[in-house]
């Protein structure tokens, strides 16, 4: 029997004249995800993507991977058959036999996109439902709260039978809404913010600030593991690892202690901006959360962002910690995030950080530093590491 995967497009269907460009990006992302599972024919019609496996393809693996492709709102394992009422019944009996026997009740729902088909959707549902009821007498018909929902779709080239769809990742295809850099630490928040902006169709370049020997090689590997886990959702990425030790030592030696974190974060934004422009990115993504720490007051964030003219996207800004943790568990990053390897944000933490700063006073503090020279040195020493879950 022709076992295949049907993917229902999400927000793409609301697009106007440029819908095709979003759809093409989705198809490209799907093909990249499928490459390691064998050969598939992938094409789109009527807001549905059809994934047809060729001989030897791993359909189970492909299905699980496609659940994490942004731009897909639902997906189903389905069987295709001729557009004939009895062929549809035979297909449903064979393809869903195990599920029919295991359910206490069922209902048939039909979607008839091909209006030339001689039966209405209701007529098809009634006919197929009656035949299935006779074939599986221990499974009752229940049109209100069925345990099993049998879907019949009559489309241009064939009819398709499947059970209840599995929810997809939703959102927009990665790469359809531009590129951005994302500040990726080893904590819980930044992987979640990266995931949330990728869901809006943004291709991301993670930037990590590494302060060896104050932070260990294990801390760096932890961040690369987080980035690899995120590629399940975000696609292949190149992590930019910025040497940050000299900058932090200079801040400690020449700036008042209460300004350490704020000056450090201003350097991060300057460097992230340089990396963004170098890679054609149009925004910076951070995991900041209003009021969570001293550097995340409104005044502090205004001072931090004053050094860049790029938009700073903060998807976690109004979430509480439990909400963030819930997403981290969902996307598979939580267990790695809580490994006890600290990142550079914990280096030289002030005892009494400034929480209500202004830009003028920070600019005065930074006069003691060779800001441009330190930024140039850090950018020049950046290491790029390609990460992917598609090996």
- Model confidence pLDDT, tens digit, residues 248-262: 999 999 999 999 999
Task: State the pLDDT confidence band at 391, using cuts at 50, 70 and 90.
Answer: low
Identify the DSSP state of 367: G
Model-level pTM? 0.91
End-to-end CA distance of the chain: 30
Q: What is the DSSP string of 144-164?
A: SS-SEEEEEEE-SS-EEEE-S
pLDDT tens by residue, 338-365: 998 877 777 677 788 888 999 999 999 9
Domain 3-168 classification at class level: alpha beta
Average pLDDT over residues 41-68: 94
Q: What is the pLDDT of residue 388?
A: 87
Which residues are 387's β-sheet partners? 237
Rounded-to-integer distance, Cα 96 and Cα 77, Å: 11
- Asked whether the predicted pLDDT for residue 106 surpasses 80, the reply is yes
Q: What is the pLDDT of residue 1?
A: 54
- Asked whether the predicted pLDDT for residue 222 surpasses 90, the reply is yes
- Asked whether the predicted pLDDT for residue 209 surpasses 70, the reply is yes
Rounded-to-integer distance, Cα 391 and Cα 389, Å: 6
State how beta strands 72-81 and 3-9 pair: antiparallel
Provide the residue ranges of all domains of the chain, joining segments of one domain with +: 3-168, 179-387
Average pLDDT over residues 326-335: 97
pLDDT tens by residue, 147-197: 999 999 999 889 999 999 999 999 999 999 999 999 999 999 999 999 999
Q: What is the pLDDT of residue 390?
A: 67
Alpha helices in the chain (DSSP H): 19-34, 59-66, 85-95, 97-102, 121-135, 189-198, 217-234, 245-254, 260-278, 298-305, 321-331, 334-337, 359-365, 371-380
Average pLDDT over residues 120-140: 97
- CATH code that applies to domain 179-387: 3.40.50.620
Average pLDDT over residues 15-34: 93
Please indicate whether the domains covering 3-168 and 179-387 agree at the CATH topology level: no
Rounded-to-integer distance, Cα 82 and Cα 290, Å: 57
């Amino acid at each position: 029997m022709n076992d295949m995967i049907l993917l229902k497009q999400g927000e793409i269907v609301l697009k106007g004249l440029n819908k095709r460009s979003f759809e093409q990006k989705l198809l490209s992302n799907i093909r990249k995800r499928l490459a390691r599972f064998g050969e598939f024919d992938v094409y789109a019609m009527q807001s549905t993507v059809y994934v047809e496996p060729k001989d030897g393809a791993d359909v189970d693996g492909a299905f699980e991977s496609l659940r994490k492709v942004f731009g897909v709102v639902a997906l189903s394992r389905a069987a295709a058959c001729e557009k004939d009422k009895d062929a549809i019944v035979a297909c449903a009996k064979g393809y869903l036999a195990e599920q029919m026997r295991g359910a206490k009740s069922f209902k048939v729902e039909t979607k008839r996109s091909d209006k030339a088909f001689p039966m209405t959707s209701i007529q098809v549902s009634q006919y197929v439902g009656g035949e299935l009821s006779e074939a599986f007498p221990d499974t009752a018909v229940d049109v209100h709260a069925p345990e099993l929902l049998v879907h019949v779709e009559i489309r241009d080239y064939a009819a398709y039978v499947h059970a209840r769809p599995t929810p997809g990742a939703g959102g927009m295809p990665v790469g359809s809404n531009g590129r951005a850099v994302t500040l990726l630490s080893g904590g819980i928040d930044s992987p979640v913010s990266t995931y949330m902006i990728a869901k809006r169709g943004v291709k991301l370049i993670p930037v990590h600030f590494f302060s060896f020997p104050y932070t260990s090689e294990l801390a760096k590997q932890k961040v690369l593991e987080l980035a690899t886990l995120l590629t399940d959702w975000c696609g292949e990425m190149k992590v930019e690892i910025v040497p940050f030790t000299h900058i932090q030592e200079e801040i400690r030696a020449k700036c008042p202690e209460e300004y350490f974190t704020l000056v450090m974060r201003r350097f991060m934004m300057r460097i992230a901006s340089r990396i963004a422009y170098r890679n054609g990115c149009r925004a910076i993504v951070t995991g900041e959360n209003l009021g969570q720490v001293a550097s995340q007051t409104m005044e502090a964030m205004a001072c931090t962002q004053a050094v860049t003219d790029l938009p700073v996207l903060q998807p976690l800004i109004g979430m509480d910690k439990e909400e963030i943790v819930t997403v981290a568990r969902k996307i598979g990053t939580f267990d790695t995030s809580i490994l006890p390897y600290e990142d550079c944000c914990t280096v030289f933490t002030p005892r009494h950080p400034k929480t209500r700063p202004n830009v003028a006073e920070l600019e005065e503090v930074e006069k003691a530093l060779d800001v441009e020279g330190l930024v140039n040195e850090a950018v020049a020493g950046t290491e790029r590491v390609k990460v992917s879950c598609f090996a």
